Structure 1
């Protein structure tokens, strides 16, 4: 069987790429909205366990239909479990816990700090990904935006509780550690979609027994909660990974990183339209400062061209 050449990655995204990017940001922004619908009706471990279990079924279906090579070896599956803990079990659980106390929009803003922590973690543990002054400046500016959001509200005595905001930052740190750990899959030449399927399967193997041990069978819940949970696993996790890798193959890692800017917008709009959530001027100011920090890390809003000669 001959292998077709992979399409070249384009630095300039087409209208179709931008449409896919907008759809992905809406889907990931929608995950915060759906969690807000679910919280209070189902224990955290069941929410997250069923989410990754549904996503695993979706992704293995895509893998099998595409006849992609299946992963083998105890070591590889052990790496999938570790990756699943770092990229799903810890952050997904912290996000559900946090959204019991803070609105979806604020949760999505704090989640958008993930690239900031990714730069810090990569600089500390990956010798070939040391950050330059521009990127470190972006990290400091972005973390300053977090401090603005949390600090000004606390100073005014009218902010959201501190612990759920710290939980969201903990989720972002866990995502950053997962990004660094995930480098080993590139060395093993594992298909990215197969890695995603293995990762969510590893997550389900951890979470579903834990949920059963901790809470027993899933509790009764309104139909809208089960629909939201199904959409969270099927669309916001399974389909989102398929879209993510499709855009990644077409437009590259740098362009796909722009979705970080768009997800909070989607989450805030959905929360405003359907959950009557409101963000104050402090949160919007903090989001703007975090956005500037991300722009410095990305580098496209600030030219980095070398002088001619």
Structure 2
């Protein structure tokens, strides 16, 4: 990735790292599906109102909106509901570790479904090292809960798989000529249309007590920052860096959450945090590959005048 793409990925991890904080506050007064509807609904309102200011218009083609509905299902409806429900059953740290399997799924899905994001040794080793780094950083004590609430843990794993498939599916919007901001608006709008009937039937939100100001502040934070702004960055990165690189944000989210807790809440960093961050850094360096090429540059092979020229990607 370029320096700009890496900076956007870091910013995205900070925005999504803050979503765990906002979700924890909002779940004290709102049921999961209602919270998700408010999250995507407010984000849809903000993004659709912002499109004219950016000189953009919502797409009108049926095929584009069909893709928006599929993307909303894969990237919002399924993972949001599963993760939020899972967080009501298991510790948020364990949920973060399970969510960090997204790059593992992404490497496999991209290898199977794309021609330009094939699995390599560097990528596979990098995601494995990065996953171990997340587990070390969050703490081995959390892993003690792996034997309980299996359904909740499976729910978070299915959410991670859904994120990985969404990353590959979402590559088509660039080929359709849809701008990242318009794609983000279309996705959260489609997600709102899919989830609103579910919230009405399941949660009956009109019967709930009116939440207090802290809860509304958390809802605005998760809608404006962790959804509207975050998905504009998401689709910009996806359009240029690909699904596998985009999925690496799940390695950075725990780092962002821990650093936010240190800087804002004055929490203390333990040695395992530094070790986990170092492992994540090593994993990202292995996936990027440039550091390895710098340390061990390729040696030119012996030239043979009579040997046929082999172009990159040509079958031998």
- TM-score where L is the length of structure 1: 0.77
Once residues 101 and 267 of structure 2 are traced to their aligned partners in structure 1, the CA distance between those partners, rounded to angstroms, is 21
Structure 2 CA distance for partners of 1:104 and 1:211, relative to 1, 3 Å = same
Matched, 1:206 2:206: no
Once residues 291 and 166 of structure 1 are traced to their aligned partners in structure 2, the CA distance between those partners, rounded to angstroms, is 27
Shift of 1:258: 6.6
Question: Secondary structure at 2:178's aligned position in 1?
Answer: coil
- Residue in 1 aligned with 2:222? 232
Structure 2 CA distance for partners of 1:99 and 1:144, relative to 1, 3 Å = same
Q: How does 1:181-260 map onto structure 2 within 5 Å?
A: 181-218=169-206, 219-220=208-209, 221-244=211-234, 253=241, 259-260=249-250
Matched, 1:71 2:59: yes
- Residue in 2 aligned with 1:307? 299
Query: Which structure carries more relative contact order (alpha carbon 8 Å, separation 6+)?
Result: 1
Matched, 1:49 2:49: no
Q: Which has the larger radius of gyration?
A: 2
Q: How does 1:161-172 map onto structure 2 within 5 Å?
A: 161-163=148-150, 164-172=152-160
Structure 2 CA distance for partners of 1:277 and 1:207, relative to 1, 3 Å = farther
Question: Secondary structure at 2:34's aligned position in 1?
Answer: helix
Q: Give the conservation status (yes or no) of the 8 Å contact 2:15–2:225.
A: yes
> Which stretch shows the higher mean deviation, 223-232 or 103-112?
103-112
Structure 2 CA distance for partners of 1:161 and 1:225, relative to 1, 3 Å = farther
- Residue in 1 aligned with 2:2? 11
1:36-85 per-position Cα deviation (integer Å, ceiling 9, x unaligned): 11224211111111100011111112212112142112222111011001
The number of residue pairs the alignment matches comes to: 294
RMSD over aligned CA atoms reads 3.8
Gap regions ≥5 residues in structure 2: 302-316
Shift of 1:281: 8.3
